[in-house]
Amino acid sequence: MSRFAVACALAALLPGWSEAQDAAPQLQEDPRAPRFAEVERGFFAALEVGYLGVTKTPVADPARHSYACLPGSSCQGGFASGLALSIDLGYDITRRFAGSLFWMQAFAGASDSYGSFSLGMGGVGLRYAFLALDDANGVERFYTFVRARGAYVITYPQGLFGTTDWMAGGGLGVEYYTRLRHFSVGLVVDGLYFFRAAVPAFDVLATLRYTF
């Protein structure tokens, strides 16, 4: 009699146990999938450090800087070169297109008679990555991009290379997004033009970027 009771109890419980198995929640995603973005996008801050070359250095105010206009100098200091530092604050509009505000501070020296001068440039920049390459895991990490920049320029000493000016430029660069997610490193070369001084220039800058 007891065996019959146990069998009846099991028969009554089996349908409920089967329904409980059917109602068990199903996994919606692979638990091994990463819980974070391999490459961060959004607001970023970038530091650029490198070389600035100015192809010629006319004297904006010869009366004020007569030492730069010694006989035989033609009021030209010749080629000038020096250090350039730039800080960019921007946003990735898409994974290939970004805009930023920047400030570049450059220090250059020409001939002994002309001396040294500084350039402070504040403006806006746009960049577009036209080529992207994947790493071994299929994640886009290496980009080749073009960029355009425009800035208002303040020079010192006033009246030497100029006092204020406008600058426009464009360049080509490469960037690699590291496995530290938030960081990328790169190199960019820009051609620049100062309108009031009517002088072309260029820079070569190494870049370090952090995306928040």
Domains and CATH numbers, the chain: 43-211 (2.40.160.20)
- The confidence band for 146, taking pLDDT boundaries of 50, 70 and 90, is very high
Per-residue pLDDT tens digits for 106-124: 999 998 889 999 999 999 9
171 in Cβ contact with 189 (< 8 Å): yes
149 in Cβ contact with 170 (< 8 Å): yes
CA-based nearest residue to 84, from 33, 37, 43, 119: 119
- The confidence band for 105, taking pLDDT boundaries of 50, 70 and 90, is very high
Rounded Cα distance between 82 and 52, Å, is 5
Per-residue pLDDT tens digits for 19-37: 545 555 555 655 555 566 7
Please tell me the predicted confidence (pLDDT) of residue 2: 57
Predicted structure pTM score: 0.80
